[in-house]
A and B are shown apart, each in its own frame.
Chain A
Amino acid sequence: MRAEVAEVACPNCGVGLKALGGGRVVIQVCTHCGSALDAVDNFRLLKTHAELPRPDTPLKLGDKGRIQGVDWVVIGILGWSEAKRWTWTDHQLYSPSHGYAWLTLEEGHLIFSRAWRGAMSPTWMTERGIETAEKPPEIAARGQSYRYYETTDAKVTFAEGEFSWAVMVGDRSKTLSFMSTDAMLTLDQGPEREVEISTYPPQAETWASFGIKAAAPLRVHPLQPRRVWRDERFLSGLGAVATLVATLAWGVLQSQGNWVEPRVLPKAGGLEVEAELPITTTTGVVELRIRTDVYNAWAGIETEVTDPSGTVLFQNAREVGYYAGIEDGESWSEGSQVTSIYFRPTEAGDYGLSLSVPEGGAGEGAGGPSLSRPSLTVYEGRAASMWMLMALVLSALMAGLPLIRDWLHNRARWRGSDWSDD
């Protein structure tokens, strides 16, 4: 608590300055002439900075508001700039019961920060430690993990009111920031080694408590929680049910149809296949399932299908590739040795199929096909299940809506991080 000082007269311009802060105030900057006064030494004049550009903030000294259930009063305003491109405004808050805190206004977002004196592991981090780290360093505190976000080297461009630390216009501050899911730890690299914790207060509610109506900011702030849509959980649940139903329906549709024995003609050789497909129905579609034995290799397969009159129905080119191995004791595989081609028959009769493998190679190379002759399995009367596949994809997207939105939001939150794997 502070000894009774209600108002002081600026020794430079004589204007009366209200003393709003408590006993830890060390600097008071005159609102009229910009003079910095030493609050610890009988408000002695330290320095004068006149005609400084005011930061754009609707808050002013003496404004009162409520954050995290505590009543605060604005006792100081600081303008900051980093590399003349990035600017923000800090408002020093004071509460007789909770001490000092900061309310930062940055791109329309309000951020609440206060001193953090709890245990951290490691207990400190330096810029050098960040530069030599191979992956983003992390700090454990409050039962959470805070990952390195950015290094800030900022300059004070404006000061007005009372402050709990000796700050002057022109002072520089270098900080390292680490972010968890909902908070940020900022390590001041100055000799005091202070740590602050920042959180994102409810914006409209906080502005309203200060009696201000502010527009919602456009960009996502790193500390901003994702806004959950009103019906998001319901939609996600509905999507999960729809995905289950569509998966079952997809399985049923896939089991429909009859096997057709192709008559493979002997004239083709090597990797080429010539066959006649005795199609008996125009209901549904025909599936040509082509199986290969590519292994850590790929192959380009070209097919041509003619209708019973000998007219070319379509030509198609497909690539199959299958790769597998063991890495760090774990087996892995990707790709497939099988591909399917679908077409809708125009009439019953013998359809002609020509299949060739003109290109391919081992690994990612193009040294020529590296496989045995492909085998062919044919089904007719398959249900046209493309719409069901689309329904399946859409319902899965709906079910995964919260996860997708989480991912997009997190990507936006971390977009401003200056960490580089290089």
Chain B
Amino acid sequence: MERRNCMTCGADLGEAFGWSRMVNCAHCGTAHILRDAVFAAAGSAGVFHDAPGLVRLMQPVQTLQGRFLPVGVVRFSYGRGAWDEFWALDDLGKGAWISVDEGDIALQRPVAAASLPAAPRERSAVIAFDDRDWTVTEAETATCLAFRGQLPEVFVLGDQFTFLNASSGDGRILSGEFWPGGHAWFCGPWIDPFDLGAK
């Protein structure tokens, strides 16, 4: 595993570049991108106002689905509020997104299926996935506000995308993200904040 240093201040950026596509310097805040073996500084990682939360960067959390170490976080705005997406590694080093929004916490991994639409749907629309009907409960636009740590994708401050959340009543949340020329789907269980423990 290759070690990298910050291109602005020279600080050690850690060792997680095996899977990471983006890392933020904990010392000076400069974001770095690794793309096609080219390592480059990407400028500011945004202002990250500290907010009370049950999930914190580099502090392991125990869920009913196992233990996770959040190694990176992206904050998105949905207008009147914001939520955090933590990129977290389980004990096998496999990554998942932990979404945290004022007590609404979900653990999601990427999913793919032919039935999942490539374009956003409105609230109350029904989507077929995993032999169930999923009703869209939320459909809004998100803006990337800031990021920290190590992330598996490249994020750009101010970038916007449309997202939707859907529920089938089985304790999971299905989320779709849509941007010009692309989309992605994620699915996983809701996590009861009272079941979440620090480990």
> Could you tell me which A residues sit within 8 Å of B by CB distance?
1-3, 22-25, 39-40, 68, 94-100, 114-115, 117-120, 123-124, 191-193
- CB-based contact A96/B53 at 8 Å: yes
* Interface locus among B5-13, B15-23, B73-81: B73-81
- CB-based contact A99/B124 at 8 Å: no
* Pairs across A and B, CB under 8 Å, 27 listed: A1-B81, A1-B83, A1-B101, A1-B102, A2-B80, A3-B79, A3-B80, A3-B82, A22-B102, A23-B80, A23-B101, A24-B81, A24-B101, A24-B102, A25-B80, A39-B80, A40-B80, A68-B194, A95-B102, A97-B103, A98-B193, A99-B102, A100-B102, A100-B103, A118-B171, A119-B171, A191-B124
The CB with the most chain A CB atoms within 10 A, among B80, B81, B169, is that of: B80
- CB-based contact A192/B137 at 8 Å: yes
Distance A94 CA – B124 CA, assembled complex (angstroms): 27
Distance A1 CA – B146 CA, assembled complex (angstroms): 14
Distance A114 CA – B81 CA, assembled complex (angstroms): 20
A120: B residues at CB distance < 8 A = 169, 171
From the candidates A24, A25, A68, A96, name the one contacting B51 in the complex (CB within 8 A).
Answer: A96
Distance A259 CA – B132 CA, assembled complex (angstroms): 78
Closest 8 CB pairs of A and B: A23-B81, A99-B103, A119-B171, A123-B169, A117-B190, A96-B52, A98-B103, A99-B102
Interface assignment of B122: CB less than 8 Å from any CB of chain A: no
Q: How far is the CB of A345 from chain B (nearest CB, A)?
A: 73
Q: How far is the CB of A112 from chain B (nearest CB, A)?
A: 11
A98: B residues at CB distance < 8 A = 54, 102-103, 193-194
Interface assignment of B36: CB less than 8 Å from any CB of chain A: no
- State the total of A-B contacts with C-beta under 8 angstroms: 79
- CB-based contact A118/B192 at 8 Å: yes
Q: How far is the CB of A201 from chain B (nearest CB, A)?
A: 13
In chain B, positions 132-183 with a C-beta closer than 8 Å to chain A are 135, 137, 167-171, 173
In chain B, positions 77-134 with a C-beta closer than 8 Å to chain A are 77-83, 101-104, 124
- CB-based contact B81/A22 at 8 Å: yes
The CB with the most chain B CB atoms within 10 A, among A97, A124, A192, is that of: A97
- CB-based contact A123/B170 at 8 Å: yes
- CB-based contact A23/B52 at 8 Å: no
B103 (CB) vs chain A CBs: closest residue: A99
From the candidates A94, A118, A123, A192, name the one contacting B190 in the complex (CB within 8 A).
Answer: A118
Q: How far is the CB of B130 from chain A (nearest CB, A)?
A: 13
B53: A residues at CB distance < 8 A = 96-97
Q: How far is the CB of B16 from chain A (nearest CB, A)?
A: 27
A39 (CB) vs chain B CBs: closest residue: B80
A2: B residues at CB distance < 8 A = 80-82
Q: How far is the CB of B75 from chain A (nearest CB, A)?
A: 9
B106 (CB) vs chain A CBs: closest residue: A117
A141 (CB) vs chain B CBs: closest residue: B171
Known interface pairs A118-B192, A123-B168; A97-B52 also in contact (CB < 8 Å) = yes
- CB-based contact B171/A117 at 8 Å: yes
Q: How far is the CB of A93 from chain B (nearest CB, A)?
A: 10
In chain B, positions 49-78 with a C-beta closer than 8 Å to chain A are 51-54, 77-78
- CB-based contact A95/B82 at 8 Å: no
Q: How far is the CB of B133 from chain A (nearest CB, A)?
A: 10
A25 (CB) vs chain B CBs: closest residue: B80
- CB-based contact A23/B170 at 8 Å: no
Distance A268 CA – B127 CA, assembled complex (angstroms): 90
Distance A294 CA – B45 CA, assembled complex (angstroms): 93
Q: How far is the CB of B84 from chain A (nearest CB, A)?
A: 8
Q: How far is the CB of A24 from chain B (nearest CB, A)?
A: 6
A192: B residues at CB distance < 8 A = 137
Known interface pairs A23-B82, A117-B171; A3-B102 also in contact (CB < 8 Å) = no
B82: A residues at CB distance < 8 A = 1-3, 23
B171: A residues at CB distance < 8 A = 117-120
Known: A115-B104, A123-B170. 9 other contacts (CB 8 A): A1-B102, A3-B79, A3-B80, A22-B81, A22-B102, A24-B101, A95-B102, A117-B167, A124-B169
